[in-house]
Amino acid sequence: MSQIAMTNSEEHVKLEAVSIMNMILISSTVYSEREKFAADPVFQCISQLLRKETGLCLRKEAVNLLYQLFNCPKVTAAFCMENGEAAVSAELDAKTYPSFREFNAIMDGLVECVTCTGNSTKELKLRRCAVTVLAFIASLGKPGLGIILNHRLPERTNILASILESLASDVNLGPLDSAQSVEVFRERTLVIREALILLNRLVSHPQFSTAVLQALTSGREVTSLTIDVAKRLSHKGKFLWQDDSITKQIRESEIVELARVFKRRVFTFLGDGVS
């Protein structure tokens, strides 16, 4: 299936192949069954499909496939080992699992998914799936947090700055009008919510919060971006929707509260009061 997804020129055929792999993994509750898919060709396939020139639906399926594979202990162990964590107890076959180069390309592709432009439901769903995978990586403890903090992207930026840039783009879009679908509002809200939850977990981490906050304030540009996002999302306002329905107010209030927690952590670290 991975060969079909890589070599076939028809996108609908690629999409069908990746969808089948996802269905097989979802139905496999035994780790040994999932491990059969965790071979180098599959990860090569994922790294190719995550590229920005690939169609949105296909990229989303590739992100979902990666998430399913990460729910296999040997895969996460290999991922952490290739990214600098040598003390892994699982027995790993170097010929089976992908190299650092492949994982590096996968991380680059994931971040490209987080920062993809556009405000349709397809782009927003892709972004949310990618943020979910990054949150899973961050949950892997020291090696996962090390990847989030230390992975360098081709543009010489880092993952945290890329997440902030995606949030800033959402704020800059302004409120949605009634002509846009409820689904767009829902997806946009969920993307912002998931990104803020991830950032709050990182800035509140008992061991790594200082390193995370240092990364978020490591230069004038990223510090300005961090403060701007924290301030703008923490103020009550109709930045997501022009309607006043109760459901929309509740969803927006949740984002405001998450943003205020993030703002408080950042401003405390910087030594400023929260206004």
Q: What does residue 97 show for φ and ψ, rounded to 5 degrees? A: -85, 155
What is the C-alpha separation between 243 and 211, in angstroms, rounded? 40
- 3-state SS class at 87: coil
Inter-CA distances, 201 with 42, 142, 191, 233, Å: 31, 14, 16, 17
Q: Whole-angstrom Cα distance, residue 140 to residue 68?
A: 15
Nearest of 125, 147, 163, 132 to residue 262 by alpha carbon: 163
40, with CB counted inside 10 A (0-12, 13-18, 19+), is: middle
pLDDT of residue 217: 93
Per-residue pLDDT of the chain (275 residues; tens, 9 = 90+): 666 666 666 888 888 888 888 888 888 776 666 777 777 788 888 999 998 888 999 999 999 999 998 888 888 877 777 555 443 334 445 445 555 677 888 999 999 999 998 888 999 999 999 999 999 999 988 888 988 998 888 776 889 999 999 999 888 876 555 555 778 888 888 899 999 999 999 999 999 999 999 999 988 999 999 999 999 998 865 555 555 565 566 677 889 999 999 999 999 999 864 45
Q: What is the pTM of this model?
A: 0.87
Phi first, then psi, for residue 152 (nearest 5°) are -105, 130
Q: What distance in Å separates the CA atoms of residue 183 and residue 189, rounded to the nearest whole number?
A: 10
Q: What is the pLDDT of residue 126?
A: 96
Contact yes or no for 266/203 (Cβ under 8 A): yes
Name the token pair of 194: 């998931």
Confidence at residue 209, expressed as pLDDT on a 0 to 100 scale: 95
Which three-class secondary structure state does DSSP give residue 255?
A: helix
pLDDT at residue number 42: 85
CA 117 from centroid of its chain's CA atoms: 14
Q: Give the start-to-end residue ranges of the domains of the chain.
A: 1-114, 157-275
Closest by CA to 48, choosing from 78, 5, 97, 12, is: 5
Alpha carbons 29 and 225: distance in angstroms, whole number: 42
